[in-house]
Amino acid sequence: MMIIMRTDATKEQVSRVVDRVENFGLTAHISSGEERTVIGAVGESRPLLMDQFLHLPGVDRVVPISRPFKLASREFRPQNSKFRLDGFEIGGKGIVMIAGPCSVENREQILSAAVAVKNAGAHALRGGVFKPRTSPYSFQGLREEGLELLEEARAATGLPVVTEVMSKEQIPIMLPIVDVLQVGARNMQNFDLLHAVGESQHPVLLKRGMMASVDELLMAAEYVLSHGNQRVILCERGIRTFETSTRNTTDINAIPVLKSLTHLPVILDPSHGTGHWEYVTAVARAGIAAGADGLIVEVHPNPSEALSDGGQSLKPDRFVKLMKEIDAIAAAVGRSIEPMLSE
């Protein structure tokens, strides 16, 4: 870290900072400019330490030098991480498509959605059974019953299943059925849950919090990785800004930024990113054009009857059209939709 002194800092104040740097076992490098002195503290970096200089007299600011994440960084692992899920690989050249309804609502709905996305070429089925809802009066999900329906949809179509886990007690009942544990945006900094999905050694889809920085997303991934669980997929799903014409603001910059900072696969959720089905396909194309490794898209057999997020869900025929357009964009960036082994 660099400790930037005030312009009016005294020699004694500089000495005291240098002493403290050395007390932590670090080496102090002093740069004295005309205006002010800067002290570089070199050695093992711990974010914790930064706070411990802010109160010292004469200190103006402390600037970190190292990135706070390690296992997630491309400096740690230069090549892309890729890994197999049931029937396909993520993180390689192939584009992966995850699709399905926001919530599992009933047997007919989830089976119909699963067959529709399977026929359109999706690789995995999404569907929430434990639902984080802003209001306690909204539909909270079918819970265990929904898991059984997902199991049935999985058996009927062969599609692996992605579903959100909201607390660690849900993990044991999910493991036999669910292929990928999704950590939702609202739980991206539920560190207790991050530890638990890390310990599960199960694949994890980690959604960026709506007000989380790219660095914080990578720190959340670091929680999972620190348990030796390396199968982590990152998902940009829109951030919260002042703009209200869409539900969230898709941070398209985050795609190349993440691809540059980390080796983990990165996908985009254009459904939450926009919140309006009319804009989903355009932003889905943008995501693949920007370098995303896949998409997660809300598809519902009958969006206007959906119990949640109907306004951002695509009808199956629109999803077929989206798949065709993604196919063209993938080719334009020298990639293709990942083939499925079962085909």
Which C-beta is closer to a second copy: that of 123 or that of 318? 318
> Burial, 144: exposed, middle or buried (Cβ in 10 Å; 0-12, 13-18, 19+)?
exposed
Nearest Cα neighbor of 321 from 339, 299, 341 is 299
Which C-beta is closer to a second copy: that of 6 or that of 82? 6
Which C-beta is closer to a second copy: that of 81 or that of 281? 281
3-state SS assignment for residue 200:
helix
Closest approach, Cβ 290 to a second copy, in A, equals 4
> Beta strand pairing status for 59-63 and 2-5?
antiparallel
CA separation for the pair 105, 285 (Å, rounded) = 29
- 265-298 in b/e burial notation, b at 16+ Cβ within 10 A? bbbbbbbbbbbebebbbebbbbbbebbbbbbbbb
Which C-beta is closer to a second copy: that of 111 or that of 257? 257
Closest approach, Cβ 322 to a second copy, in A, equals 12
Which C-beta is closer to a second copy: that of 260 or that of 343? 260
> Burial, 216: exposed, middle or buried (Cβ in 10 Å; 0-12, 13-18, 19+)?
middle
Which C-beta is closer to a second copy: that of 109 or that of 250? 250
Nearest Cα neighbor of 203 from 189, 183, 217 is 183
Closest approach, Cβ 18 to a second copy, in A, equals 13
Asked whether 187 and 193 are in contact (CB, 8 A), the reply is yes
Closest approach, Cβ 152 to a second copy, in A, equals 25
Asked whether 138 and 193 are in contact (CB, 8 A), the reply is no
Which C-beta is closer to a second copy: that of 158 or that of 310? 310
Which C-beta is closer to a second copy: that of 245 or that of 343? 245
4, containing H or E segment: strand 2-5
CA separation for the pair 41, 30 (Å, rounded) = 9
Q: Which two tokens stand for residue 126?
A: 């999404």
Q: Which two tokens stand for residue 259?
A: 């691809």
Which C-beta is closer to a second copy: that of 84 or that of 276? 276
Closest approach, Cβ 7 to a second copy, in A, equals 5
Closest approach, Cβ 333 to a second copy, in A, equals 7
> Burial, 105: exposed, middle or buried (Cβ in 10 Å; 0-12, 13-18, 19+)?
buried
3-state SS assignment for residue 314:
strand
Closest approach, Cβ 84 to a second copy, in A, equals 26
Closest approach, Cβ 283 to a second copy, in A, equals 6
Closest approach, Cβ 64 to a second copy, in A, equals 9
